[in-house]
Amino acid sequence: MLELKNIKTFYGNIQALKDVSIEISEGEIITLIGANGAGKSTTLMSICGIVPPRSGEILFMGKPIQDMAPNNIVSLGICQVPEGRRIFPFLTVAENLDMGAFLRKDKDEIKRDIEYIYELFPILAERRNQAGGTLSGGEQQMLAISRALMAKPRLLLMDEPSLGLAPLIVKQIFEIIKKINTENKTTIFLVEQNANMALKVAHRGYVMETGRVSMSDTAANLLANDEVRKAYLGI
């Protein structure tokens, strides 16, 4: 479904991604783990066209997308839940959800999807007219995920959805991720520092170190791998 082929991405003169190749098939949950500054978020921003790679290829359903504008990439069905949630702070919860469906034209179905979201997260229904910036961290994360779902993504990119949340809420978030994957058949590319949780929900995983992919295997094998256990699981 998505294939990164030897992409190199720069911020000015600083090279953040040095030759990254990743492959994601339809229906999978793939996780990308690694330390701070390894280039995980940059990988997602490169896919979305916010920081396009300087060389290499990104193929989505076999077509190169690395030179496309971000809004055109979204229209292909690639959505991101970015790090830090990035809720529009002065838009209401309902307006934030509307923004998620920005490129959709099917009004009736959008309405139905909003109802579905409100069923999934009753707290968002309760706060629909409240400004997004006034929600708690966990609620904002739910809103951020919901906003991305409103776009009906085929591929959902998630950047550290567990960051800064209480353990109970982290558990809830990961359950939702699993549910999105199994019920909506959405392919998920999950970037996480919480390697333990991520590897438990994912099918396969990639490990990233200073701009390179250093390891890739099935999630079960990575969980059992000594190096991974020492470096990322703290065992």
Partner 1 sequence: MEYFFELLLSGLTRGSIYALIALGYTMVYGIIQLINFAHGEVYMIGAFTALIVASILTMLGWNEIAILFIASVVAVVYSMAYGYTLEKVAYKPLRHAPRLSALISAIGMSLFLQNYVLLAQTSDFMPFPSLIPDLEILEPIAHLITTPEIAIILTTAIVMVLLTFMIKFTRVGKAMRATSQDREMAMLVGVDVNRVISITFIVGSATAALGGVLIASHVGQINFYIGFIAGIKAFVAAVLGGIGSMPGAVLGSLVLGCAEAFFTGFVSSDYEDVFAFIILVVILIFRPAGILGRSDISKV
Q: How many CB atoms lie within 10 A of CB 128?
A: 14
Comparison of 81 and 177: residue with beta carbon closer to partner 1: 81
Q: What one-letter code names the amino acid at 206? A: Y
CB 189 → partner 1: shortest distance, Å?
14
Specify whether the CB–CB gap between 153 and 76 falls below 8 A: no
Which of 185, 225, 183 is closest to 204 using CA atoms? 225
Specify whether the CB–CB gap between 150 and 111 falls below 8 A: no
Q: Does 89 bind partner 1 (CB under 8 A)?
A: yes
Comparison of 103 and 166: residue with beta carbon closer to partner 1: 103
Among 39, 52, 100, 161, binds partner 1 (CB under 8 A): 100
Strand runs labelled E in the chain = 2-11, 14-24, 29-34, 55-60, 63-64, 78-81, 155-159, 187-192, 204-209, 212-218
Q: Does 151 bind partner 1 (CB under 8 A)?
A: yes
CB 224 → partner 1: shortest distance, Å?
35
CB 94 → partner 1: shortest distance, Å?
11
- Rounded to whole angstroms, how far apart are CA atoms 203 and 26? 12
Specify whether the CB–CB gap between 105 and 153 falls below 8 A: no
Q: Does 98 bind partner 1 (CB under 8 A)?
A: yes
CB 44 → partner 1: shortest distance, Å?
10
Q: Does 102 bind partner 1 (CB under 8 A)?
A: yes
Q: By rule CB under 8 A, what string of x and - marks binding of each residue 2-21 to partner 1?
A: --------------------
Query: Hey, which residues does 92 pair with through a beta bridge?
Result: 131
Q: Does 137 bind partner 1 (CB under 8 A)?
A: yes
Among 11, 25, 61, 69, binds partner 1 (CB under 8 A): 69
CA-CA distances (angstroms) from residue 50 to 72, 184, 194, 218, 221? 12, 26, 25, 29, 33
Q: Does 56 bind partner 1 (CB under 8 A)?
A: no
Q: Does 164 bind partner 1 (CB under 8 A)?
A: yes
CB 164 → partner 1: shortest distance, Å?
7
Among 79, 155, 177, 190, binds partner 1 (CB under 8 A): 79
Token pair in block for residue 193: 């520092």
**Where on the chain is the footprint of partner 1 (CB under 8 A)?**
48-50, 69-71, 74-75, 79-80, 82, 84, 86, 88-91, 95, 98-100, 102-103, 133, 137, 147, 151, 164
